[in-house]
């Protein structure tokens, strides 16, 4: 039945997905609606369109249509770096001496270095189509900002990025990549916005946070003629665009008769995980197949495993819609010693609902063990993984080692979301034995959760 599996499966250009898959259409329990932060009423397309492009606002609220056409212009852009390969990790299997079969979908083969580009080009495209002049966004580790800069350069759209100040200073090369793509990069908090000035007044010398950068980007978007705000994760529209990862993966699996037993993804806001698992989850929801899905999050920012499923603010300035999600509270800030990304306090509403419904599991892992997995993977598979992606590698290796004990020949699939070229400060810490772990106390989390909005 099954063909011989090459090291890397590349679909043909003609086999690329032409529609995104909207998993909400197949969910019995839909994600809870976004609420207006002032009225606590469900957000309408009209209201959302003040912040997002019209077509994206519609996608955000669409929980009916299972498939949405990918516009030709986006398909053409996808062809520049997609299909992404589905890789059989023969070398890792051999190094682990495991009977498990390990596959990973590699999304790092583009200059932005991660899967973020899949949604960046979509969001930039709809902005351009609507006749806008530019978009604003925030970036932490820098992958999203880089991806959006690339997409905007391609479409000749202005791009204003608020970069968390500590990253702006510690990752000057990320900043330069964005500038090379023509983006305007401002360290956040800045004095260019009202919310930024307020935060600076209240916390002089603060090095910023993602929640604060979001607030600044939204403020500029809604107050500047011809601008809208775009976001790289958490939102349902983002998971929709990222479904291209899962659709390609599923097509490659079907073509070669590969049946994954478990599908593993790292989870920060949930965009990669949601995109990878969506089409497979669809099959599970429709009763066509079963898979074990595992979300992997850092022990230092454990929204699924230790957070609460509740409505919360998405940003520090509390200007964004309220979202029901697994959250650690919008004031939660992961320990500074946490090196990778995945630092967001909340989780995608779709992923949260699937998790709450018991359709997937989650586990948290500590960063030194994540970097050990990253190093092992790099040495045998020849790809230097991003710290974020390495959370999935950690669990994939753990599961493969369990198979070694039990003798089971499980098929393990994980998402390798990106490369770690801009994370060498973290690798250096690890190489020098200077990296440590941090797990928030129950009190810390309870303190943060005490500030959830009262509905």
Give the three-class secondary structure for 338: coil
Residue with token string 């599908």: 263
Contact (Cβ atoms closer than 8 angstroms) between residue 300 and residue 450: no
Q: For the purposes of burial, counting CB atoms within 10 Å of the CB of 453, is it exposed (0-12), middle (13-18) or buried (19 or more)? A: middle
Stretches 40-48, 127-135, 148-156, 212-220: which one binds a copy of itself (CB under 8 A)? 148-156
Stretches 1-9, 23-31, 235-243, 354-362: which one binds a copy of itself (CB under 8 A)? 1-9
Contact (Cβ atoms closer than 8 angstroms) between residue 137 and residue 162: yes
Under the criterion CB under 8 A, does residue 158 sit at the interface with a copy of itself? no
CA atoms of 281 and 220, how far apart (whole Å): 37
One residue of 262, 383, 397, 400 binding a copy of itself per CB under 8 A: 383
85-104: which residues touch a copy of itself (CB under 8 A)? 91
Under the criterion CB under 8 A, does residue 254 sit at the interface with a copy of itself? no
- Closest to a copy of itself by CB, 281 or 400: 400
Give the other-Cβ count within 10 Å of 336's Cβ.
Answer: 10
- Closest to a copy of itself by CB, 41 or 176: 176
Stretches 20-28, 272-280, 315-323, 376-384: which one binds a copy of itself (CB under 8 A)? 376-384
- Closest to a copy of itself by CB, 8 or 18: 8
Residue with token string 């606590």: 40
One residue of 13, 41, 69, 357 binding a copy of itself per CB under 8 A: 13
CA atoms of 67 and 65, how far apart (whole Å): 6
- Closest to a copy of itself by CB, 13 or 408: 13
> Angle at Cα 269 formed by Cα 265 and Cα 271, nearest 5°?
55
One residue of 110, 118, 272, 367 binding a copy of itself per CB under 8 A: 110
> 295: closest CA among 379, 218, 175, 388?
388
- Closest to a copy of itself by CB, 424 or 446: 424
CA atoms of 41 and 322, how far apart (whole Å): 10
- Closest to a copy of itself by CB, 177 or 218: 177
- The site string for a copy of itself over 271-310 (x = CB under 8 A, - otherwise) reads ----------------------------------------
Q: CA 335 → CA 1, 302, 344, distances in Å?
A: 50, 12, 12
Under the criterion CB under 8 A, does residue 182 sit at the interface with a copy of itself? yes
- At a CB cut-off of 8 Å and minimum separation 6, what does 404 contact? 96, 97, 98, 99, 100
CB of residue 150 to a copy of itself, shortest distance in Å: 6
Q: What is the DSSP letter of 318?
A: -
- Closest to a copy of itself by CB, 34 or 148: 148
CA atoms of 32 and 40, how far apart (whole Å): 12
Under the criterion CB under 8 A, does residue 381 sit at the interface with a copy of itself? yes
- The site string for a copy of itself over 188-207 (x = CB under 8 A, - otherwise) reads --------------------
- Closest to a copy of itself by CB, 111 or 361: 111
- At a CB cut-off of 8 Å and minimum separation 6, what does 54 contact? 45, 126, 130
CA atoms of 278 and 337, how far apart (whole Å): 32
Could you list the residues that contact a copy of itself (CB under 8 A)?
6-8, 10, 12-13, 77, 79-81, 91, 109-111, 113, 150, 153-154, 172-173, 176-177, 179-182, 375, 378-384, 419, 421-422, 424-425, 427-428, 431
């Amino acid at each position: 039945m099954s063909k011989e599996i090459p090291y890397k499966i590349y679909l043909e250009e003609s086999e690329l997905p032409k529609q995104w898959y909207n998993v909400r259409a197949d969910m019995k329990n839909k994600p809870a609606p976004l609420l207006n932060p002032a009225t606590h009423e469900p957000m309408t397309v009209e209201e959302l369109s003040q912040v997002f492009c019209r077509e994206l606002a519609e996608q955000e609220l669409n929980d009916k249509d299972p498939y949405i056409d990918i516009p030709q212009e986006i398909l053409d852009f996808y062809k520049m770096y997609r299909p992404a390969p589905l890789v059989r990790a023969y070398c890792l299997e051999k190094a682990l001496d495991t009977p498990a079969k390990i596959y990973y979908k590699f999304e790092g083969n583009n200059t932005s270095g991660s899967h973020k580009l899949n949604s960046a080009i979509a969001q930039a495209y709809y902005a351009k189509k609507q006749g806008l002049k530019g978009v604003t966004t925030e970036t932490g580790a820098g992958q999203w900002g880089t991806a959006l800069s690339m997409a905007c350069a391609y479409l000749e759209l202005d791009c204003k990025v608020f970069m968390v100040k500590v990253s702006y200073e510690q990752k000057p090369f990320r900043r330069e990549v964005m500038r090379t793509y023509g983006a305007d990069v401002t360290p956040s908090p800045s004095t260019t916005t009202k919310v930024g000035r307020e935060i600076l007044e209240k916390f002089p010398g603060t090095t910023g946070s993602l929640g604060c950068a979001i607030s600044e980007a939204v403020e500029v978007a809604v107050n500047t003629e011809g601008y809208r705000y775009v976001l790289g994760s958490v939102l349902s529209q983002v998971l929709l665009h990222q479904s291209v990862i899962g659709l390609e993966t599923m097509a490659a699996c079907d073509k070669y008769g590969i049946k994954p037993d478990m599908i593993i993804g790292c989870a920060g806001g949930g965009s990669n995980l949601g995109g990878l698992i969506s089409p497979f989850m669809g099959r599970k929801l429709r009763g066509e197949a079963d898979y074990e899905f595992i979300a992997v999050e850092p022990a230092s920012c454990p929204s699924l495993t230790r957070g609460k499923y509740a409505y919360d603010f998405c940003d520090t300035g509390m200007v964004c819609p309220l979202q029901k999600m697994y959250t650690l509270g919008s004031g939660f800030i992961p320990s500074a010693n946490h090196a990778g990304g995945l630092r967001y306090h909340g989780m995608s509403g779709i992923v949260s609902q699937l998790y709450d419904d018991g359709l997937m599991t989650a586990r948290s892992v500590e960063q030194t063990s994540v970097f050990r997995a990253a190093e092992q993977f790099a040495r045998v598979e020849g790809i230097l993984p991003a710290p974020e992606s390495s959370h999935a590698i950690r669990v994939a290796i753990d599961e493969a080692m369990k198979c070694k004990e039990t003798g089971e020949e499980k098929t393990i699939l994980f998402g390798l979301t990106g490369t770690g070229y801009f994370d060498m400060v973290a690798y250096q810490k690890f190489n020098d034995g200077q990296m440590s772990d941090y797990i928030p106390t129950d009190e810390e989390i309870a303190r943060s959760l005490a500030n959830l909005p009262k509905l």
